[in-house]
Amino acid sequence: MTTCRTKRFHAPLWASLTATFFGIGLARPGPGSWASAATVLLWWVLTRWLPIAAQPPAAILLALLAVAIGIPAATQLSRATGLKDPQFVVIDEVAGQLITLIFVPVSWQSLLAGFILFRGFDMLKPPPLRLLEKLPEGTGIVVDDVGAGLYALAVMQILLHFGRGWSWLPR
């Protein structure tokens, strides 16, 4: 089995690469914000080649993939480090950020708004997100950010559809 040695722990290479989103989780300061920013940028690049109708299903599929692969990867790194929620595990931010951008028209304004909303909900952890963190291992690491992404998605959709004073957002 191939392993990745980061600092003083060993974890399978696939888990280290996935959980740290190819090393972005090692960036300082604020690895979660770096991972969210990278996700927004990669989503913007990807949408250049996707028809508009294919963008929501693609965001859903990528978010599901990040969750499905991210939970076991986060579990592996959590076990390897002995930490409940290592800061460098950022695949959860990738999943949550992608959820935020489902059904959001791609423009710099909407991507920035989605970034700010997701990071805000991820940091504040309104109820019941704090409780979701208590779930075991990778599930607790990832699912609270899925919840933050759902909160941000809901607010983003409200702004897009009912926010008349938010004319800078595309409709």
What residue has token string 């508009």? 52
pLDDT tens column, 160-171: 998 765 566 665
pLDDT tens column, 79-96: 999 998 899 999 999 999
**Which amino acid is it at 58?**
A
Q: How far is CA 151 from the centre of its chain?
A: 13
Per-domain residue ranges of the chain: 3-162
Mean of pLDDT over the chain: 91
Asked if 92 and 141 count as a contact pair (C-beta separation under 8 A), the reply is yes
CB atoms within 10 A of CB 68: 12
pLDDT tens column, 145-156: 999 999 999 999
